[in-house]
Chain A
Amino acid sequence: MARFAGGKAPFIRIANEKGENTKRIMRDFLIGLLPVILFSWYKNGISVYLDGNISVLEMFYPLFFIIMGGLLAYIMEGIFFYITDKDNRNLKGIMRRLNTSYAVIPGVILALLLPLYTPIWILMFAAFIATIVGKMLFGGFGNNVFNPALLGYAVVGFTFSGIVTDINVIFNGSEIVMDSYAGATPLGTLASFRGTGDAFSYQALVEPYGNLWDFFLGTIPGALGETSAFAILIGFIWLAFRKVIKWFTPIIYIATVFGLSWLIGIMAGDSGVWFPTYSILTGGVMFAAVYMATEPVSTPTNPLGKIFFALFLGVLTVLFRFVGSLPEGVGTSLIVMNIFAIPIDTYSGVIRTKLFKKPGPLYISILVGVLIILVIYTLVASGNMYTAITSLFNLGQVI
């Protein structure tokens, strides 16, 4: 009579299947980042090198920087495990912990969020905040409330805002911004409109950087990873195809930003599609949509929750962009929504099963109600900034 191992049903697990587990998801996620990594290397390194403007050493720096992001996070987690886990103070033990911790991804994303000329020590500090504070102190992989990379970026952005914004205006390795750009990233230009009462114009917002096609391709100044919608799109298709992320989260988020920006544009007296298009192509909306709003741990779990999350995120992004004091609407809204992911998850969990039975309708109306209030507030608050809104009322009188 042999004694067998215990276990819990079901006894077949996808997790044990080759290539169907979290490791695979994380690997695919990393592959999904590849187009962005390669593009930023191309934009900041290869293409400039080919033009003969920089040295070989400089050409490899973007890649080096991104790899360092991943490596730093990895090493730091290793040290953290060594310190906290007394039973596993050997190579095998630490590797085992690292294997189920996926430190590289936040590190790489972090590097992509930062501008190229960020000094390494700032990257180190950011990686420390991201992995140790943002992830390990929350209880490690799976327990972090905030997106670790974003937290690292936000903390660095606040503490070293001078350094980070200064170097943000650099277009790439050789084309240091001189006079053709107003000395800012596109978002900075947008922010300069705040409170001036001027209606924004294509000339002021887009033309200094080329045209919207340049925005789409990503040949504009900005952080390493955020500029190219094109590369991000490729990543998105891959991730959605591999079912690593839910395809609808980015789309709903982007659509919300697009729609609201359009409304605001119309209120400011310019109903052109260029403005909403510009809005979604700047400030990392695309990057956040594909790689951060879909980050599983810090966003709602169930599909309905993800939908609500994306909607709220879109509204908050626009709100912070036009109303808050930071041009970085995306990061701020993500951090806020990381917190609200928890109640949204619970609410949507209830709604999913109860639907129109009590208390489903109550919960639905709470979520939808808050959403509508936010939308209205955003429209009113951002509309107020533009004298052009008066023309809307004048129009009303004429009709």
Chain B
Amino acid sequence: MIFHKAKGVQIDGRKELCKKHPLIDYLNPDTVYIPLVQRHLKLEPVVDVGDIVKIGQVVAEVGGFGAITSHASISGEVKSFKKVWHSSGKMVEAIEIKNDFKNQLDERIKAVKNVKELTREELVEIMKNAGLTGLGGAGFPSYIKYQTKENIHTVIINAVECEPYLTCDYQFIIRFAKKLIKGATYMKRAAEASKVVIAYKAYNTKVEEVLKPYLDKYPDIELYPIKDIYPAGWEKYIVEQITKKTYKSLPAEIGVIVNNSATAIIYSDAVERNIPLISRPVSITGEGIKEPKTFFVPLGTKVSDLIEQCGGYIDGLEPMKANYIAGGPMTGRAIFIDDLVVNDTLGAVIIKLFEEKDYPECLGCGKCADVCPVYITPTEIKKAYERKDVNLLGLLDANKCMECGLCSYICPSHVEITDAVKKGKELLRKGAK
């Protein structure tokens, strides 16, 4: 139907910026700040100022639904509890750990012998203890997906990374192709699924190149190239492409679990050596960076350190004419102060220059409605939000919005339409209560 087709949009990736350099290890920063939040949950620290912590040691935790633990990503002394900028766009409490450069590992970290005999429950438990979360940006604790009662037949590894600029997943895969394959198999076992599908962007032939050699050995693993459109990395889109089925809220409904590729790589370490989630790849990129690079860094690393590694900002950068974006350019947040630390959901920091311009008002071209992957009508939601018409917001399904940002992206008049829909969604949530 003309009016009901999610086509997605091809966006100029600009990924070449970051692809010049391979993944660079930056594993021993001076200081790290382990944020005491995980999604919207506040974590309780289990260490005190002055404590000496080892790599992988639990430093904070939270219970209840979505219970999760945070681990020290370097060894050293807990200096203080300090507020730092977090990728959520707010300042949050964090544990400051000063590196002693001894790289002492927690005693739990050691090679696991009986990998082959681990049961499903044990594998899920490992996931939970490792504090493994979705590294794609959602930050949702992975183990919860695996606790499902549904019968899972397929695990999909999402290596699509559809947002422009970002290359951290891509470079992570190139570097740790074998770990990806292993992590994927463990995930398959954790879900008792029959196969794994690795979805990647069709034009990233390098991914295919590095993964192909393993396919003979792992017959349950399939590769699935996906068109270069945004939001091809969206869970629903990938699942629909691969299984030709749709679901309502969770892919588990139709027997599918989707995990990010970086998550799978980290998971293979967690299974084989009990290394929790303490590091991740981060792209430092954008036109405002002298030499964009992708780093493999401990969580809590200061982004300013990484920017320094990239040679700093370009000369003559006027910060007020640039955005400091935490996350991808489509869904990320503008951070006002360049004092950000790396957390589990931060895949990139982008310094993007912009020009101040006058924009006309919404001309009603309808491109936003055309492009919306969930078939809602952003302009109407905006109007309903402006009138605070909660009822209409409900009729218009404002809550369906997945905040992909496409509507604002496509808007020729630069209307902050995504923001309006987000606010409408919020109002609906509050109003509905």
Contact = CB atoms under 8 A, between A and B. Distances in A.
A350 interface: yes
Interface string B1-15: 011100000010000
Contacts of A355: 4
Interface stretch (B53-61, B149-157, B181-189, B329-337): B329-337
B406 to A, nearest CB: 8
Contacts of B65: none
A353 B336 contact: no
A352 B379 CA distance: 13
A352 B5 CA distance: 11
Chain B residues touching A, majority SS: loop
Interface stretch (A62-70, A77-85, A96-104): A96-104
A41 B3 CA distance: 38
A255 to B, nearest CB: 14
Interface string B335-360: 11111000000000010101101111
Given A7-B354, A10-B330, A141-B363, A21 B380 contact: no
Given A10-B331, A11-B329, A2 B319 contact: yes
A350 B365 contact: no
A304 B332 contact: no
A369 interface: no
Given A2-B338, A303-B369, A297 B322 contact: no
A4 B396 contact: no
A294 to B, nearest CB: 10
B362 interface: yes
A13 interface: yes
Contacts of A3: 319-320, 336-337
Contacts of A21: 359, 412-414
Interface in A125-161: 140-143
Nearest to B356: A5
Interface stretch (B93-101, B263-271, B370-378): B370-378
Given A101-B360, A297-B364, A354-B395, A4 B323 contact: yes
How many residues of B sit at the interface, in one of the four size bands? 35 or more
A47 interface: no
Contacts of A305: 366
A306 B367 CA distance: 12
B397 interface: yes
B359 A142 contact: no
B409 A10 contact: yes
A208 interface: no
A300 B366 CA distance: 8
A345 B359 CA distance: 24
B195 to A, nearest CB: 32
A8 interface: yes
Contact of A142 (B319, B335, B363, B406): B363
28 contacts: A2-B313, A2-B319, A4-B323, A5-B321, A7-B325, A8-B408, A9-B325, A9-B329, A9-B333, A10-B405, A11-B325, A11-B350, A15-B414, A21-B359, A21-B412, A22-B412, A23-B360, A102-B360, A141-B360, A141-B363, A248-B2, A297-B363, A297-B364, A302-B370, A346-B380, A349-B379, A355-B4, A359-B395
Interface of A: 1-16, 20-25, 96-97, 99-102, 140-143, 246, 248, 296-307, 345-346, 348-350, 352-355, 359
Interface of B: 2-4, 11, 164, 304, 313, 319-325, 329-339, 350, 352, 354-355, 357-366, 368-370, 374-377, 379-381, 383, 392, 395-397, 400, 403, 405-406, 408-414, 416, 418-419
